Structure 1
Amino acid sequence: MQLTQLEYFIVVARLEHMSQAALELEVSQSSLSKTIGRLEDDIGVQLFDRKGKSIRLNEYGRIFYEKVEKALNDLQEAKTEIQELANIREDSVAINVMNSKLLPKLFYDFYKKRPNVKIRQYLLPDKLALQKLVCGEIDLMIVINPIKDDRIQWVPLFTEEVFLVVPKNHPLAAKESVSLIETKDEMFILSETGQNFRATENQLFERAGFTPNIAFEGEDLSIILQLVNEGKGISFIFKHSFLDQYLDNVKILEISNPDCFQTVGIAWNKKRKSSFVVNSFRDFAISFLKDSTI
């Protein structure tokens, strides 16, 4: 029994279609059929029920599939662990981030330590990013507020202040700070419901004791702030956002009441095994971001 036979068997069993499996494996259908035939001869039983061009796993095949799939996964995990321990295989880290001015230096400093690691950075809407984190398409999220999901581990990194942002010609622009209740009759441009920053905004309104008038909701904070820049309403911005540099027609105000802060954390799927490099980046990010905001 050869490893190639087992790998071919897994594909045929998954697809239950010989020609499709041959295309996926990039081998001829006749060669694939012979390989599966030799595997069945080695085991001593038929693993598939065949009727014309139709092929289906039988009872023996289903049992064998479960065992082979686990064995191949264990072999791959063992190979990965050994390569990582020996430091002979550089890996990649896929991470969804928020628009924080702290992150470029984080990536740069980690890259200096591990120059062969490929960092794939995304700026996806929170709901989509969480979906990709759950299914393993991304490894980590740097995100506002805890994620309430049993599959996700979230660790706080730092707390940052949230400010009010208004057009320069707005009456409030004459002030340096405001109580949020002073804005109860204003038109707000807010993050879309479901976005993590919207949870922060909702908490602020709840603590201030009023329901806002909402002119626009969006998932892209840069568009929201550009609308404020164009005088279409008022909104919020957090301390470490880099978007303030693109706003030339706004005034950023401290909020004196209530205290306006949010907590930024890093999240990962605790149900999935992370690579050595992902774990290294996560630990580095936790240390770096906590130290950089002290």
Structure 2
Amino acid sequence: MTLRYLEIFLALARTPNMRDAAAKLFISQAAVSSALRDFEAELGVSLFDRMGRGIRLNDKGRLLEERLAPLYNQLKNVLALVASDELAGKIRIGASTTLSDFVLPQVLYNFKMRHHQVEIECESGNTADIVRHVEHGLLDVGFVEGDVHNLAVEITPLAKESLVIVTADKALAEAGPYPIEALLDRHWLLREPGSGTRETFLRQLTPRGLRPQILLEFEHNDSIKQVLHNPGMLSCLSPRIVQREVRAGELFIVGVSNAQFDRTIYRVEHKALPFSSLREALSKEVESCLEEEERLCHLVLKTGGPLPEHEKERAAPRKAAQHAQA
């Protein structure tokens, strides 16, 4: 069965005359008659009553025409959309927790508003989870902040980021900077094993034989920020997560003199996955947002105060989304 059969059947259903239907379809009357005969033979039922030289839909034909017509129109629209240059389709993306909470929401909203035919599914998890789901085909693309050691996936660096040590203890922060060793006997709040944030922090300590005193581990950044307000707590987090609290004077950056907690944000795809214009367009959108967010975040942490007015206007939509997430 072909789409041409369906087109010919619907033309005959609306114009029950072989000659007129053939003229509308720009084919011969014999071709229409042959196609209808083959279509009915394939279905195993007669769809028209033959009345002399004319035809008329029978009960089966009327039922098929009523059910088929709207589906056929939808199918034509879908095929036309697929053949066009307009972005369309379904994409499954995953992002590690920091990105899914503080970067992606506004990116996905902006993208969806421009591309109404795109359906987006978004999953959040730690870096290890996202990479594993990309490997197993559960996600089309992932965005993660941790190191990736999986030969089944391809990684593309998108942006750089330096984590910061934060505390609610203003006096502690103002007395810095410290060698990292001087801070490790304090109470630390870390993300769970498998988190890229945790791995970035520990990567600077483990080769030196250093270990922090971990008081609690959490899967969510908001949980860490909540407990950070207790006396003497320290954590190592993305500046994206704490810039609002730093600006408000609720949290403070603790300077470290002998360690930098740098990491790369990666796009992760399965090596066997063919090129997709939709996946590429969305990834470029994420990359562009990361670059702008990094610039604004650096400005906030450098000044330790509010953004200049012209920067506030540029940042307003993203900050509104982040505030809703926090």
TM-score range, shorter chain: 0.5 to 0.7
Residues 215 and 293 of structure 1, relative CA distance in 2, 3 Å threshold: closer
Residues 81 and 194 of structure 1, relative CA distance in 2, 3 Å threshold: farther
Structure 1 residue ranges (4+ consecutive) displaced by more than 6 angstroms after TM superposition:
none
Supply the AA of the counterpart residue of 1:103.
L
Supply the AA of the counterpart residue of 2:165.
L
Alignment of 1:155-194 (within 5 A): 155-168=156-169, 172-175=172-175, 177-194=177-194
Root mean square deviation of aligned Cα: 3.3
* Distance in 2 of aligned mates of 1:215 and 1:193: 14
* Distance in 1 of aligned mates of 2:130 and 2:262: 23
Deviation, 1:232, is 6.8
Q: What does residue 89 of structure 2 align with?
A: 91
Aligned partners of 1:84 and 1:276 also within 8 Å: no
Aligned partners of 1:160 and 1:240 also within 8 Å: no
Supply the AA of the counterpart residue of 1:224.
I
Residues 143 and 287 of structure 1, relative CA distance in 2, 3 Å threshold: same
Q: What does residue 213 of structure 2 align with?
A: 213
Q: What does residue 262 of structure 1 align with?
A: 263
Query: Secondary structure at 2:214's aligned position in 1?
Result: strand
Query: Secondary structure at 1:200's aligned position in 2?
Result: helix
- Unaligned runs of 5+ residues in structure 1 are 4-37, 39-79
* Distance in 2 of aligned mates of 1:115 and 1:194: 35
Supply the AA of the counterpart residue of 1:84.
V
Deviation, 1:267, is 0.9
Deviation, 1:290, is 4.1
Q: What does residue 145 of structure 2 align with?
A: 144
Aligned partners of 1:133 and 1:139 also within 8 Å: yes
* Distance in 2 of aligned mates of 1:271 and 1:231: 50
Supply the AA of the counterpart residue of 1:189.
L
**TM superposition score normalised by structure 2:** 0.56
**TM superposition score normalised by structure 1:** 0.61
* Distance in 2 of aligned mates of 1:124 and 1:277: 22
* Distance in 1 of aligned mates of 2:108 and 2:82: 20
* Distance in 1 of aligned mates of 2:161 and 2:289: 15
Greater C-alpha radius of gyration: 2
Q: What does residue 277 of structure 2 align with?
A: 276
Q: Deviations over 1:130-162 (max 9, x none)?
A: 332222222222111331111111111111121
Alignment of 1:31-180 (within 5 A): 84-87=82-85, 90-97=88-95, 98-100=97-99, 101-168=102-169, 172-175=172-175, 177-180=177-180
Query: Secondary structure at 2:241's aligned position in 1?
Result: coil
Aligned partners of 1:178 and 1:256 also within 8 Å: yes
Deviation, 1:108, is 3.9
* Distance in 2 of aligned mates of 1:290 and 1:261: 15
Deviation, 1:119, is 2.5
In the comparison of the two structures, how many residue pairs are matched? 217
Aligned partners of 2:164 and 2:237 also within 8 Å: yes
Query: Secondary structure at 1:240's aligned position in 2?
Result: helix
- Unaligned runs of 5+ residues in structure 2 are 3-41, 43-77, 296-326
Supply the AA of the counterpart residue of 1:252.
I
* Distance in 2 of aligned mates of 1:115 and 1:242: 33
Larger helix proportion, structure 1 or 2?
2
Deviation, 1:163, is 0.9
Deviation, 1:94, is 2.1
Q: What does residue 236 of structure 1 align with?
A: 236
Residues 243 and 286 of structure 1, relative CA distance in 2, 3 Å threshold: closer
Supply the AA of the counterpart residue of 1:151.
A
Aligned partners of 1:189 and 1:214 also within 8 Å: yes
Is residue 202 from structure 1 mapped to residue 171 from structure 2 by the alignment? Answer: no
Further displaced range: 236-245 or 158-167: 236-245
* Distance in 1 of aligned mates of 2:290 and 2:80: 30
Aligned partners of 1:189 and 1:215 also within 8 Å: yes
* Distance in 2 of aligned mates of 1:155 and 1:196: 16
Further displaced range: 240-249 or 197-206: 240-249
Query: Secondary structure at 2:189's aligned position in 1?
Result: strand
Aligned partners of 1:168 and 1:249 also within 8 Å: no
Query: Secondary structure at 2:108's aligned position in 1?
Result: helix
Residues 87 and 212 of structure 1, relative CA distance in 2, 3 Å threshold: same
Deviation, 1:242, is 5.7
